[in-house]
Chains A and B, each alone.
Chain A
Amino acid sequence: MGLIFENGNFSAFVEGFLRTIELSALSALFALLLGFVLAAFRVSPVPVLRWFGTAWVTVFRNTPLLLLFFAVTFMLPPLDVHLDSFTAAVIALSAYTGSFVCEVLRAGINTVPLGQAEAARSLGMGFGQTLSLVVLPQAARSVISPMGSVFIALPRNSAIAGAFNVPELFSFQKVLSEEAYDIFAIFFWIALAYLAISFSINAVFSTLERRVAVAR
């Protein structure tokens, strides 16, 4: 029992911290891309795409994240898909978070009056142009704040990856507890690290929100 950052523990802590950031950032990127595609599917005029979007959201938003981790970790290898634990974690987190992004976007799209899309279409804009040039920019204002909540939850959700062999921030706790360091000190530092990440994300979204408010 001693100071928790002795014996190279500090570099392990930093490594875990960076791994959590890496995992969250990659998952955020893919979740965002996936969310946009799914939202476009859900409002598209093609029934099959709408159905697919709805099915995806229903499945992934209603399944506990832990189960998704189990699924990618244990159900893919028998199908001859072998992924390292980090990739598997990114997939589980992106698939899960993407469904929330989709629903936030869709709610935002629904706040834009139908007449806006009709005017765009009547001027000859296609589906993609109508969505990207007219509807989504107007949805942005109502989307940013709930989108912030989705992305602030992401690093916290990523802690599950620690239980699936990804040496991220939260799993650092396991290592140190086994070495019998003061449990309160360990959790204090881990909590502080998560707080730092959440605050940064919050700052980004607050800035975005101000920008959009000014740019009408």
Chain B
Amino acid sequence: MTENSAELRDTAPLVALRGVNKHYGALHVLQDIDLEIAQGEVVVLIGPSGSGKSTLCRTINRLETIDSGTIEVDGRPLPAEGRELARLRAQVGMVFQSFNLFSHKTVLENVVLAQVKVGKVAKAEAERTARELLERVGVGAQADKYPSQLSGGQQQRVAIARALAMNPKVMLFDEPTSALDPEMVNEVLEVMRSLAARGMTMVVVTHEMGFARSAANRVLFMADGRIVEESTPDAFFTAPRTDRAKDFLSKILQH
């Protein structure tokens, strides 16, 4: 990263959460979340299991609703469920831990489907885009296979291509490598690093310290529904300020 976060944050934020709260019944899963993400910024969300990372990530494209506060993407508040929201979701790419490729469609069809049905792109053009993207993430040769015939690492790269095909303004990754065998983690992180290098705005829930250090502008540490620490990757991993973060890091670094 050549630019640093401070410079990036001079412009209007691409994603802005203000005073966001959410409950699951009695559980206060997001507590007064304030977060601004600048165009081109890569933010890594880290924290113990159950701290609300996935929930936070999913509120940004409104897969989860919130109880109070506001969320803006590109200066516009998230619309209510309906056509407007669908349009916005197309601009916010999401990559899931479990890939969620459409199992009844081939790899190529997976990347083509939403372009045609949502983006109203002509089929031939959508296929051209799809092949380019599949090539770019290194699975061009698998285009005509079904997802179940691919390795986890390949499936996740297809899922990234599928999201990129909509030309999103921001990409959300929810533990994209947690379901992968260790030898496949790097091929996915490599794709994500190159995305970051091309200037994609990214929110990444991950415990991959290597990725955070090499690609992130900022690390946010979450615990119990709050963002309790926020710093550069180097500062966070070498000198965490809060006890919660120190405790958490000592646990993940043991392994």
| Residues of A participating in the B interface, judged by any CB pair closer than 8 Å | 45, 113, 115-116, 118-126, 129, 133-134, 137-138, 216
Contact = CB atoms under 8 A, between A and B. Distances in A.
B86 A115 contact: no
B102 A122 contact: no
Contacts, number: 67
Given A124-B88, A216-B146, 20 more contacts: A113-B98, A118-B63, A118-B94, A118-B100, A119-B94, A119-B96, A119-B101, A119-B159, A120-B114, A121-B89, A122-B92, A122-B94, A123-B89, A123-B166, A124-B90, A124-B91, A126-B83, A126-B86, A138-B103, A138-B104
B201 interface: no
Contacts of B159: 119
A119 to B, nearest CB: 4
A122 B102 CA distance: 13
A216 B87 CA distance: 31
21 contacts: A116-B100, A116-B102, A118-B63, A119-B94, A119-B96, A119-B102, A120-B114, A122-B63, A122-B89, A122-B93, A123-B90, A123-B162, A124-B86, A124-B87, A124-B89, A124-B91, A124-B118, A125-B117, A126-B82, A126-B86, A134-B102
B81 interface: yes
B73 interface: no
A115 B159 CA distance: 12
Contacts of B103: 116, 138
Nearest to B90: A124
Q: Which 6 A-B pairs have the closest CB atoms?
A: A124-B90, A123-B114, A119-B100, A115-B100, A122-B94, A124-B118
For A120, A123, A125, the residue with the greatest tally of chain B CB atoms inside 10 Å of its CB is: A123
A115 B90 contact: no
B113 interface: yes
Contact of A216 (B104, B113, B118): B104
A13 B82 CA distance: 54
B61 interface: yes
Contacts of B102: 116, 119-120, 134, 138
B30 interface: no
Interface string B56-71: 0000010100000000
A138 B83 CA distance: 24
Contacts of A123: 89-90, 113-114, 118, 162-163, 166
A113 B103 CA distance: 10
Nearest to A46: B81
Nearest to A122: B94
Interface in B106-126: 113-114, 117-119
Contacts of B91: 124
A203 to B, nearest CB: 25
A137 B110 CA distance: 14
Interface in B154-169: 159, 162-163, 166
Contacts of B83: 126
B86 A125 contact: yes
Contact of A124 (B81, B100, B166): B166
Interface string B132-159: 0000000000000010000000000001
B105 to A, nearest CB: 9
A138 B104 CA distance: 6
Contacts of B118: 123-125, 129
A142 to B, nearest CB: 12
Contact of B117 (A118, A122, A129, A138): A129
A46 to B, nearest CB: 9
Contacts of B81: 45
B71 to A, nearest CB: 15
Contacts of B117: 125, 129, 133
A118 B102 CA distance: 11
Contacts of A113: 98, 100
Contacts of B89: 121-124
A109 to B, nearest CB: 14
A59 B90 CA distance: 40
Given A122-B61, A123-B162, A124-B166, A137 B104 contact: yes
A126 B117 CA distance: 10
Contacts of A119: 94, 96, 100-102, 159
